[in-house]
């Protein structure tokens, strides 16, 4: 079974750094892109970017370029989303999802809730 | 960055048909945007319904269908049921590996 399991909820202060993870199983991790999607409280889905674990190629939405870093460690089949300095506006649920084809995402991780508050 | 547009909300009667559309603020949606559709209920991760314009994901009932209607992608629910009450999102491929989600459509079944 193809599965993505994300790390647990985080509570951080503004200015903190953070790295959340998405562990894949059930398929060849290096063969498929992994995407990250943000959902702010009560809002819609926002595509942040993708990483290809085979060669670490990454693409970012212009809205998120420079704001986050997406990476992958193929030795442990895990993708990451990280911030160097969190803001309150980063408070959101973050989902990872595999991209099996040109533009669709499945399966999805269960989500990681990030709360940034002083 | 292009804006992907969806109707903010729709209401449908049980057994009725509803079509949710996915457009571009400038230009037309085509199969080259590989539109896909997702259903999300509160507190849950999104569920894939349709990929590559009109391919239903495994386990998705055939009352859900995807198409291109005019210059937009479309998700049609034929014979809506109470548990179809959810938020629906489309996502379009914009080239260079970049995708953009629509703002979402809140569907009420009543």
The model's pLDDT over B27-76, given as tens digits with 9 standing for 90+, comes to: 999 999 999 999 999 999 999 999 999 999 999 999 999 999 999 999 99
- Mean pLDDT, residues B92-97: 93
* Chain B residues bordering chain A (beta-carbon distance below 8 Å): 1, 33-36, 38, 40, 45-48, 51-52, 57, 87, 89, 91-93, 96-104
How close does chain A come to B62, measured CA to CA in Å? 19
Output DSSP code: residue A108: B
* A78-83 sheet: strands from edge to edge: A3-6, A18-25, A78-83, A69-73
Residue A45 pLDDT exceeds 90:
yes
Contact B57, B51 (CB under 8 A): yes
Helices (H) and strands (E) in chain B, counts: 0, 11
Considering CB atoms only, which of A47, A97, A109 is closest to B100? Answer: A47
In the structure, what pLDDT confidence band is assigned to residue A102 with cuts at 50, 70 and 90? Answer: confident
The reported pLDDT for the residue numbered B62 is 96
- Residues A37 and A47: their CA atoms lie apart, in Å, by 5
Residue B1 has pLDDT above 80, yes or no: no
CB contact under 8 A, B51 and A37: no
């Amino acid at each position: 079974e193809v599965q993505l399991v994300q790390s647990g909820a985080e509570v951080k202060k503004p200015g903190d750094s953070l790295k959340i993870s998405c562990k894949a199983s059930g398929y060849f991790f290096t063969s498929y892109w992994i995407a990250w999607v943000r959902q702010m409280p009560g809002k819609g889905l926002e595509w942040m970017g993708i990483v290809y674990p085979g060669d670490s190629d990454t693409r970012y939405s212009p809205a998120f370029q420079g704001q986050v870093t997406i990476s992958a460690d193929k030795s442990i089949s895990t993708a990451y989303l990280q911030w160097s300095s969190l803001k309150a506006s980063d408070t959101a649920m973050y989902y990872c999802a595999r991209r099996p084809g040109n533009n669709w995402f499945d399966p999805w991780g269960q989500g990681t809730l990030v709360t940034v508050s002083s | 960055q292009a804006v992907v547009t969806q109707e903010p909300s729709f209401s449908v009667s049980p057994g009725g048909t509803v079509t949710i559309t996915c457009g571009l603020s400038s230009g037309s949606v085509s199969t080259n945007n590989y539109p896909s559709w997702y259903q999300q209920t509160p507190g849950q991760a999104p569920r894939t319904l349709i990929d590559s314009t009109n391919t239903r994901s495994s386990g998705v009932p055939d009352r859900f269908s995807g198409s291109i209607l005019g210059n937009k992608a479309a998700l049609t629910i034929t014979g809506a049921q109470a548990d179809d009450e959810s938020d629906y999102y489309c996502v379009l491929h914009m080239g260079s590996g970049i995708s953009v989600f629509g703002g979402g459509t809140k569907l009420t079944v009543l």
